[in-house]
Amino acid sequence: MGLELYKTSRRAKEIFDLVDTSLSFPLSKLMFDGPTSELEKTINSQPAIMAASLASLAALEECAPCEQPEPVAFAGHSLGEYTSLVAAGVVDLADGFRLVRERGSLMQRAAERQSGGMAAIIGLDDVTLEEVCQETGVEIANVNSDDQIVISGDRIALARAMDLASARGARKTIPLAVAGAFHSQLMAPAQEGLCQALGQTTFREPKAPIVANLSGQKLTTGEEIKEELKNQLCNCVRWKQSVECMIDMGVSTFVEFGPGRVLTSLVKRIDRQAKTANVGDVDSAQKVAVQSSSL
């Protein structure tokens, strides 16, 4: 994970080196060599994904000509919101990695304390799914698009909710390979520790607005963003609303950084007219750099 970036981009290598220094732990070695079972632990996977995403951004900045369009907004889905804060200059790189590793550690301990999970529900409206949640005790964790909503909760309740959603007309229910019931009240044991970590971190105004997970609205001050993160852990990520907010702000091109194309796919589900691009390696960074210079 991220090895190609490390080997081929000087700026990306600096990101991986800095994450190791910030955490006093060779996370990059774990990313490059495994074992996968250790990398997949929440305490490691969260800073690893952040490192790969910021390394992809660094690779683009290295490839890009001097004149590049300024971002209209920054946003990220759940963990990605922290990555967006570093990209927008709200928190320092080292502070961002330390925050995310602490977040991952707290979430992992909360998940071990009470077993839970998440599932994607495809093709069921939010009103009907909210009724399912009320009947079973699970919670809506992510509103990703009109036809993709994620629920979260205790594993027994989650299984009941999936069955009930299918009976109420869902086209598909997909259990997610996650370690716990994220963005639900089962993460409450992690919230106090995260608030302490946030309180010890300096937050600045972003270079461009952050579009919040919880409200789907613009945040323009460090204090607003800090409050957002305090509540994000146990509440719903409204990605669909966030994307619609950015479109209303005039965003026509969305660039996703890091491994995978999940957010790109969701943006296309929300607005088929939106232009999208992914940067996950040096080749894609070079391609997007050329395209963005003409915007």
Catalytically active residues, by annotation:
78, 183
Distance of CA 106 to the CA centre of its chain: 17
Distance of CA 77 to the CA centre of its chain: 3
Nearest Cα residue to 122 out of 90, 146, 106, 93: 146
CA dihedral 248, 249, 252, 258 (to 10 degrees): -110
Peptide bond into 35 cis (omega under 30): yes
- Report the distance separating Cα 233 and Cα 214, nearest Å: 10
Other CB atoms within 10 Å distance of the CB of residue 177:
8
**DSSP letter string, 83-137:** HHHHHTTSS-HHHHHHHHHHHHHHHHHHHHHS-EEEEEEES--HHHHHHHHHHHT
Chain length of the chain = 295
Other CB atoms within 10 Å distance of the CB of residue 29:
11
- Report the distance separating Cα 224 and Cα 69, nearest Å: 26
**DSSP letter string, 8-76:** H-HHHHHHHHHHHHHHTS-HHHHHHH--HHHHTSHHHHHHHHHHHHHHHHHHHHHHS-S--PPPS-B--
Task: For tokens 């970036």, name the residue.
Answer: 5
Q: Which H or E run includes 250?
A: none
